[in-house]
Amino acid sequence: MKALITGCNGQLGKALLASLPDGCDAVALDRTSLDLTDAAAVYERVSREAPDLLLNAAAYTAVDKAENDEATARAVNVDAVAAMARAMKAGSGRLVHVSTDFVFDGSSARAYRPEDARNPLSVYGKTKADGEDAAGTDALIVRTSWVYSAGGANFVRTMLRLMRERDTLGVVADQIGTPTWAPGLASVLWGLAAREARGVYHHSDAGVASWYDFAVAIHEEALAIGLLDRPVTINPIATAQYPTPAVRPAFSLLDTSATRALLEAPAVHWRTHLRTMLKKEQGLV
């Protein structure tokens, strides 16, 4: 099987390459080898490569910047995806597209199911929702949330840096979701693709957290293994105390039961994966 992986230098792209299934040859593309703002170039390259599977791990993810850069966000998150879908359909391959919890508005009283109505609050969320539509009904679309990995640019590593620099931090406590470890997400994508799944699925780690809960856990686990050498004070704050250009959903927990049932595997709790990630940061595993 030939797989084409976009966004190969990102957290998920690296995890996908690190977990290639046996018998799978991969073509890995980053932003220097494929300009995702050029839909024609995307179509031409995908058509030329003619992969059996295209895993689109690339996206415009600068949530706040997108509020004033919608054209670029839409080019990457929508137009490029549409070009991928057209090329894969013409070549009889399958598209695996990664989406986000930001397609929801956070008003649900329960975890969001794949079939729930979308109502994005930000430009980023809107372009990702439109990107799902552009991927089409033949694609496998996997929504996820709060992705992080060792060595990546993410909330965990930002918190570690701030905890080393400051004595006190304020972290938002009224946005609820679930962290997701990139290698775990990669494993789910390969697993769903192997089962020839199509349509929309959800994946995040098990459990529930606010960003404040996540930060407290990072602090506790990092202290326990010596990744931090001193404790700091972490205070819960409201979203209103930390205004951002883009509006985030206050609640974006994803119902992953259909994914777990298809893969016949329970989800791993986010704190378990956090421990593994921090040990990797320290070089212990």
> Mind telling me the catalytic residues?
124
Cα–Cα distance for residue pair 266/104, rounded to 1 Å: 24
Cα–Cα distance for residue pair 221/228, rounded to 1 Å: 9
**Start-to-end C-alpha separation, the chain:** 30
Cα–Cα distance for residue pair 254/205, rounded to 1 Å: 10
Say which amino acid occupies 165. Answer: E
